[in-house]
Amino acid sequence: MIHFVLLISRQGKVRLTKWYSPYSQKERSKVIRELSGTILSRGPKLCNFVEWRGLKVVYKRYASLYFCMCINQEDNELEILEIIHHYVEILDRYFGSVCELDLIFNFHKAYYILDEVLIAGELQESSKKTVARLVATQDSLVEAAKEEANSISNIIAQATK
Amino acid sequence: MLLLTLLLRSVGFYFFTSSIQNPESNNSYTAKLEQLKTIGRELAMGSQGGFGQSKEFLDLVKSIGEARSKSEEDRIVLHEIETLKRRINEPDIPKRKMKEYIIRLVYIEMLGHDASFGYIHAVKMTHDDSLLLKRTGYLAVTLFLNEDHDLIILIVNTIQKDLKSDNFLVVCAALNACCKLINEETIPAVIQQVVELLGHQKEAVRKKAVMALHSFHQRSPSSVNHLISNFRKKLSDNDPGVMGATLCPLYDLIAIDVNPYKDLVASFVNILKQVAERRLPKSYDYHQTPAPFIQIKLLKIMALLGSGDKKSSEQMYTVIGDIMRKSDTASNIGNAILFECVCCISSIQPSPKLLETAADAIAKFLKSDSHNLKYMGIDALGRLIRINPDIAEQHQLAVIDCLEDPDDTLKRKTFELLYKMTKSSNVEVIVDRMIDYMISINDSHYKTETASRCVELAEQFAPSNHWFIQTMNKVFQHAGDLVNPKVAHNLMRLIAEGFGEDDDAADSQLRSSAVESYLKIVDDPKLPSAFLQVICWVLGEYGTADGKYSASYISGKLCDVAEAHSSDDIIRAYAVTALMKVYCFEKSAGRKTSLLPECQLLLEELSASHSSDLQQRAYEFRAILDLDANAVENIMPLDASCEDIEIDKSLSFLDNYVHKSLEQGAEPYIPENERSGTLNISNIINRNPYEHPAHSLRFEAYEVPKLVVPTKLSPAVTYPTELVPVPEPSYQPTVSSGPVSDAGSGSGSTELRLRLDGVQKKWGKPAYSSAASSSTSNIDSQRTTVNGATQPDNVTSKSREPRQPHVEVSEEKQKLAASLFGGRTARPERKQSGSAAGHSKVSRTTNHGEDKAQPTTVTTAVQPPPPDLLDLGESSGAASSYSSTVDPFKQLEGLLDLSQDGHAVTTTTGPDLMSLYSGASTNGQNQNQNLNPLLNEKDNMNGAPNPSNRTASLTKGPSLKDALDKDALVRQMGVNPTSQNPNLFSDLLG
User: What's the maximum distance between 2 C-alpha atoms anywhere in chain B?
Assistant: 124
Cβ burial B702-730 (10 Å sphere, 16+ → b, else e): eeeeeebebeebeeeeeeeeeeebeebbb
Q: Are B959 and A81 a contacting pair at CB < 8 A?
A: no
Rounded to a whole number of angstroms, the CA Rg of chain B reads: 38
CB-CB neighbors (< 8 A) of A49 in chain B: 372, 375, 409
pLDDT at position B962, please? 65
Q: Which of B130, B932, B953 sits opposite A140 (nearest CB)?
A: B932
How far is B224 from B215, CA to CA, in rounded Å? 10
pLDDT bracket for residue A2 (50, 70, 90):
very high
A128-138: average pLDDT:
85
Residue among B431, B306, B428, B236 nearest B866 (CA): B236
Q: Are B956 and A11 a contacting pair at CB < 8 A?
A: no
Query: B895 at the A interface (CB within 8 A)?
Result: yes
pLDDT at position B399, please? 86
Q: Are B135 and A138 a contacting pair at CB < 8 A?
A: yes
Query: B372 at the A interface (CB within 8 A)?
Result: yes
Query: B128 at the A interface (CB within 8 A)?
Result: no
The single-letter DSSP state of residue B786 is: P
Task: Judge whether B601 and B561 are in contact, CB under 8 Å.
Answer: no
CB-CB neighbors (< 8 A) of A100 in chain B: 983-986, 988
How far is B559 from B417, CA to CA, in rounded Å? 44
Nearest chain A CA: its distance from B79 CA (Å): 19
CA angle B964, B967, B971 (to 5 degrees): 140
User: Which tens digits make up the pLDDT trace of B205-238?
Assistant: 999 999 999 998 888 888 888 888 888 888 888 8
Q: Report whether pLDDT(A57) > 90.
A: yes
pLDDT at position B478, please? 82
Q: Report whether pLDDT(B307) > 80.
A: yes
How many residues are present in chain B? 990
Q: Are A22 and B985 a contacting pair at CB < 8 A?
A: no
Q: Which of A27-31, A97-101, B933-937 has the highest mean pLDDT?
A: A27-31
pLDDT at position A106, please? 86
Task: Judge whether B809 and B400 are in contact, CB under 8 Å.
Answer: no
Q: Which of B371-375, B637-641, B668-672, B909-913 has the highest mean pLDDT?
A: B371-375
Q: Report whether pLDDT(B763) > 60.
A: no
Which positions ≥6 away from A160 have C-beta within 8 Å?
B20, B36, B40
Q: Report whether pLDDT(A28) > 50.
A: yes
Cβ burial B196-219 (10 Å sphere, 16+ → b, else e): ebbebeebbbbbbbbbbbbbbbbb
ipTM score of the complex? 0.89
Query: B21 at the A interface (CB within 8 A)?
Result: no
pLDDT at position A17, please? 92
Nearest chain B CA: its distance from A34 CA (Å): 11
Q: Which of A49-53, A66-70, B870-874 has the highest mean pLDDT?
A: A66-70
Nearest chain A CA: its distance from B967 CA (Å): 10
Give, for B262, the enclosing helix (H) or strand (E): none
The single-letter DSSP state of residue B67 is: -
pLDDT at position B892, please? 43
Q: Report whether pLDDT(B41) > 50.
A: no
Q: Are A77 and B58 a contacting pair at CB < 8 A?
A: no
Query: B230 at the A interface (CB within 8 A)?
Result: no
Q: Report whether pLDDT(B822) > 70.
A: no
Q: Report whether pLDDT(B836) > 80.
A: no
How far is B387 from B724, CA to CA, in rounded Å? 81
How far is B292 from B338, CA to CA, in rounded Å? 11
B455-461: average pLDDT:
84
Nearest chain A CA: its distance from B738 CA (Å): 45
Residue among B244, B252, B242, B349 nearest B301 (CA): B252
Q: Which residue has the higher pLDDT, B902 or B336?
A: B336
Q: Report whether pLDDT(B811) > 80.
A: no
Please state the pTM of the whole predicted model. 0.66
B918-927 long-range contacts, CB within 8 A, separation 24+: B920/B4, B920/B7, B920/B8, B920/B11, B921/B8, B921/B35, B921/B38, B923/B4, B923/B5, B923/B8, B924/B5, B924/B8, B924/B38, B924/B39, B924/B42, B926/B1, B926/B4, B926/B5, B927/B5, B927/B8, B927/B41, B927/B42, B927/B45
A104-127: average pLDDT:
88
Q: Are A105 and B61 a contacting pair at CB < 8 A?
A: yes
Identity at B177, one-letter amino acid code: A
The single-letter DSSP state of residue B289 is: B
- Tell which A residues from 111 to 140 touch B, by Cβ distance under 8 Å: 111-112, 115, 119-120, 122-130, 132-140
Query: B179 at the A interface (CB within 8 A)?
Result: yes
B913-919 long-range contacts, CB within 8 A, separation 24+: B913/B11, B913/B964, B913/B968, B914/B11, B914/B14, B916/B964, B917/B7, B917/B8, B917/B11
Which positions ≥6 away from B755 have C-beta within 8 Å?
B725, B726, B728, B739, B743
How far is B511 from B496, CA to CA, in rounded Å? 8
**DSSP string of B734-783?**
HHHHHHHHHHHHHH-SS------HHHHGGGS--TTHHHHHHHHHHHHHH-
pLDDT at position B515, please? 84
Nearest chain A CA: its distance from B277 CA (Å): 17
CB-CB neighbors (< 8 A) of A81 in chain B: 332, 336, 372
In this structure, is the dihedral angle defined by the CA atoms of residues B484, B489, B490 and B491, taken in order, positive or negative?
A: positive
Cβ burial B795-809 (10 Å sphere, 16+ → b, else e): eebeeeeeeeeeeee
Alpha-carbon dihedral of residues B348, B352, B357, B358, nearest 10 degrees? 40
Q: Which of B11-15, B452-456, B645-649, B856-860 has the highest mean pLDDT?
A: B452-456
Q: What percent of chain B has pLDDT over 90?
A: 3
Q: Which residue has the higher pLDDT, B79 or B887?
A: B79
Least confident window among A85-94, B10-19, B395-404, B939-948: B10-19
The torsion angles phi and psi of B744, rounded to 5 degrees, stand at -65, -50
How many residues are present in chain A? 161
Query: B291 at the A interface (CB within 8 A)?
Result: yes
pLDDT bracket for residue A81 (50, 70, 90):
very high
pLDDT at position A135, please? 86
Rounded to a whole number of angstroms, the CA Rg of chain A reads: 18
**Cα of B525 vs its chain's centroid, Å:** 40
In this structure, is the dihedral angle defined by the CA atoms of residues B649, B653, B657 and B662, taken in order, positive or negative?
A: positive
- Tell which A residues from 5 to 34 touch B, by Cβ distance under 8 Å: 9-11, 13-14, 16-18, 20, 22-25, 28-29, 32
Mean pLDDT in chain B?
Answer: 71
Q: What percent of chain A has pLDDT over 70?
A: 88
Query: A91 at the B interface (CB within 8 A)?
Result: yes
Residue B291 Rama label (left phi>0; alpha psi -120 to 50; beta): left
pLDDT bracket for residue B812 (50, 70, 90):
confident
Query: B51 at the A interface (CB within 8 A)?
Result: yes
Q: What percent of chain B has pLDDT over 70?
A: 63
Give, for A52, the enclosing helix (H) or strand (E): strand A49-52
Which positions ≥6 away from B245 have C-beta within 8 Å?
A122, A124, A125, B207, B210, B211, B214, B234
Q: Report whether pLDDT(B287) > 80.
A: yes
Residue among B658, B496, B265, B370 nearest A46 (CA): B370
Q: Which of B449, B970, B987 sits opposite A98 (nearest CB)?
A: B987
B336-363: average pLDDT:
89
Query: A152 at the B interface (CB within 8 A)?
Result: yes
pLDDT at position A154, please? 61
Nearest chain B CA: its distance from A138 CA (Å): 7
pLDDT at position A114, please? 92
Q: How far is CA B209 from CA A118, B101, B174, B311, in A?
A: 14, 30, 10, 34
